[in-house]
Amino acid sequence: MSRTVYLDGQYLPEAEAKVSIFDRGFVMADGVYEVTSVLDGKLLDFAGHMRRLTRSLNELGMDNPLSEQDYLDAHRKLLELNGITDGLVYLQVTRGNAGDRDFAFPPEGTPQTVVMFTQAKPGLAENPQAQTGLRVISAPDLRWHRRDIKTVQLLYPSLLKMEAKARGADDAWLVEDGFVTEGTSNNTYIVKDGTLITRDLSNDILHGITRTALLRLASEAQIKVEERPFTLAEAQAADEALITSASAFVLPVVEIDGAQVGNGQPGPIATRLREIYLEESRKTAI
């Protein structure tokens, strides 16, 4: 069955949704995106994604072409049209069709491009990796230095996912100046002596929506939280390691560059945090 997707105010069969070859998103990666998870037909932390979208657009000097209510209506309509129970909604906003290729921005008032589409993921919350844990490799962080902006420039993370796969691992953790920044598409954490440790917010990492929620939930569950950078060696010697993202929720990491983390099994704090996160997210989904 063909998906119905959203393009600039229209709901179209996916084969009919076409964007110009001069779109700034296509020729310059001049666009930002969000991915919102859906469980039981409801959107998780939609307000958080909208806040970050606005921030990303502001940082790039782009307008926000739609209101939060417009985005919400479009997300819900796409879920309904495509019969999505569990899955994702992808949203992308670009600086639009400049009519030609030029480094300079198109003139003020050039319509931006807005695309949304769904991805069905039946059983999204029942990921078997929650039981097995992830194995990750490390790699130097060669991305640009505004990782706090959620742009569509995903080539380096994409190359690293392929490298991880080729080496029999699930993902890669990025390292800069000796410290872990984040995963290719997730925020990274370790647990040592009961304390949850994750890198503090800066331009070095994406400000994960799931990260914000998790730190709040961890504190509420009386788990001590420390926001500071950690090294790869510290991670390998930790009691537990884990990642968060809007689509993976919370997943344990059991191996880093071939070194077992803890006893090589998903740890109790990662497992508990996943349960708490999923329970709370379902409760507050809209």
Which residues, numbered 122-141, are part of the site for ligand PMP (CB under 6 A)? Answer: none
Q: Which of 209, 223, 242, 270 binds ligand PMP (CB under 6 A)?
A: 209
Q: Which of 187, 198, 271, 281 binds ligand PMP (CB under 6 A)?
A: 187
Which residues, numbered 254-283, are part of the site for ligand PMP (CB under 6 A)? Answer: none
- Give the nearest distance from C-beta 183 to ligand PMP in angstroms: 7
Calculated CA dihedral for residues 104, 61, 31, 85, nearest 10 degrees: -160
The single-letter code of the amino acid at 9 is G
Q: Which of 78, 211, 240, 270 binds ligand PMP (CB under 6 A)?
A: 211
Note whether 245 binds ligand PMP by CB under 6 A.
yes
Cα separation, 122 vs 126, whole angstroms: 9
Note whether 210 binds ligand PMP by CB under 6 A.
yes
Q: Which of 106, 133, 208, 267 binds ligand PMP (CB under 6 A)?
A: 208
Give the 3-state DSSP-derived string for 2-48, with helices as H, strands as E and coil as C: CCEEEECCEEEEHHHCCCCCCEHHHHHCCEEEEEEEEECCEECCHHH
Cα separation, 160 vs 181, whole angstroms: 14
Give catalytic status of residue 150 as yes or no.
Answer: yes
Which one of the spans 5-13, 56-64, 205-213, 251-259 is the region binding ligand PMP (CB under 6 A)?
205-213
Q: Which of 244, 252, 270, 277 binds ligand PMP (CB under 6 A)?
A: 244
Nearer to ligand PMP, 98 or 160 (CB): 160
- Give the nearest distance from C-beta 88 to ligand PMP in angstroms: 10
Q: Which of 113, 186, 198, 271 binds ligand PMP (CB under 6 A)?
A: 186
Which one of the spans 20-28, 116-124, 207-215, 254-262 is the region binding ligand PMP (CB under 6 A)?
207-215
Which one of the spans 2-10, 132-140, 182-190, 261-269 is the region binding ligand PMP (CB under 6 A)?
182-190
Note whether 185 binds ligand PMP by CB under 6 A.
yes
Q: Which of 42, 121, 150, 165 is catalytic?
A: 150
Beta bridge partner(s), residue 137: 172
Positions annotated as catalytic residues are 150
* Residues engaged in binding ligand PMP (CB under 6 A): 182, 185-187, 206, 208-211, 244-246
